[in-house]
Homo-oligomer: A and B are copies of this chain.
Amino acid sequence: MPASPIRKLVPYAENAKKKGIKVYHLNIGQPDIETPPAALDAVRHSDFRVLEYSHSAGNETYRRKLAAYYEGIGINVDHTQILITTGGSEAIFFGMMSCLDAGDEVIVPEPFYANYNGFAVEAGITIVPVTSGIDTGFALPSIADFEKKITPRTRAVIICNPNNPTGYLYRREELETLADIVKKHNLYLFSDEAYREFCYDGSHTSALQLPGIEQNVLLMDTISKRYSACGARIGALVTKNRQVLDTALKFAQARLSPPSFGQIAGEAALDLPHDYFDATKAEYKLRRDTLVKRLNGIPGVVCPNPGGAFYAMAKLPVKNADHFCQWLLESFSYENQTVMLAPASGFYSTPGLGMDEVRLAYVLNTDAINKAMDCLEKALEQYRG
């Protein structure tokens, strides 16, 4: 089982803090945005006396409202096609367990969300990477690249849209190309849409909106990022494929139920006004613009402009970003401050790729981002000198 590349530098950050150094955390997707008070208040004002198991598939009232939310954004599903999960994490794991046998293969464009590795280990399946590059801004690899990876054991493709870690927002035409491959080879398409609400240049197309592959698509969702409610541990697995959902429900029954408090928060969040995301989106866009401009202004740094989510991948003028990120925490400070980044190598499955890249999560306000970029600029000067 591999260690999390996002969390493995944590002890070095803790040591830096013990020395009194302020650490700007751009390494992890923990937003600083407030959780909607209405969601927290629903939990605080709950008045039950027994904290019971919920239905294994989640509360029906919540699933019905969630179906209406999907309807509202052009995804046509009903509540019987939704399984509430313990975070998006569990939706990914249940999808893998329900659709693949041990030894089966799933193709994933790399770099990818590193925890897919963990769930693949748990499910006993093999991740086969197809490489996307910083030179194309991490666009979807070509059909030919995908087809080279298909073997008799290939069962599924995973995409994350908009993407973590690259921030890339897949265009509808790219997704339609992918749908053709999925259909031709009769694969499942797992679509992780955790960051759906955060698209800055262009609109979001859900995999469940692609015609012709309705029975192939599993949507993995979560309220963690959408409502800045990571600690609720509430996600969803959504599919029109009844057989897959029936199988997933058996895994859901084994773990009994998703968290009750989190479901209350998730259900209440669905009553927020339609323009709720506007302010959050505007704030993230400002941060992205600030971060990308600053990064590209540092000599030797290249950062494609990400279309969604709250991540950016940058190429740094260093040979080994793992070493550089550790050095930032262990041996560097500027005005008693430093910055924590996630080395990109952990997001690639192919050994040796991404060695000079890092992922930055723009989950801090622009003032903090500017200060973090000041640190990075000084650090690169010092590290290279």
Residues of A within 8 A of B (CB): 1-4, 7, 28, 30-35, 37, 39-40, 43-46, 48-54, 56, 86-87, 89-90, 93, 97, 102, 115, 117-119, 122-124, 228-233, 247, 250-251, 253-262, 265
- The CA of A374 and the CA of B102, in the complex, are separated in Å by 49
Main SS of chain A's interface residues? loop
Copies in the complex: 2
- Return the chain B residue nearest A5 by Cβ: B253
B230 touching A2 by the CB < 8 A rule?
no
B51 touching A35 by the CB < 8 A rule?
yes
Which B residues are in CB contact (< 8 Å) with A230? Answer: 51-53, 256-257
- The CA of A102 and the CA of B93, in the complex, are separated in Å by 17
A53 touching B30 by the CB < 8 A rule?
yes
A254 touching B115 by the CB < 8 A rule?
yes
Which of these, B48, B124, B247, B259, contacts A124 with CB under 8 Å?
A: B124
- The CA of A32 and the CA of B258, in the complex, are separated in Å by 19
- The CA of A294 and the CA of B45, in the complex, are separated in Å by 42
B259 touching A262 by the CB < 8 A rule?
yes
A52 touching B7 by the CB < 8 A rule?
no
Nearest Cβ on chain B to A49's Cβ, whole angstroms: 5
- The CA of A123 and the CA of B1, in the complex, are separated in Å by 13
- Return the chain B residue nearest A54 by Cβ: B231
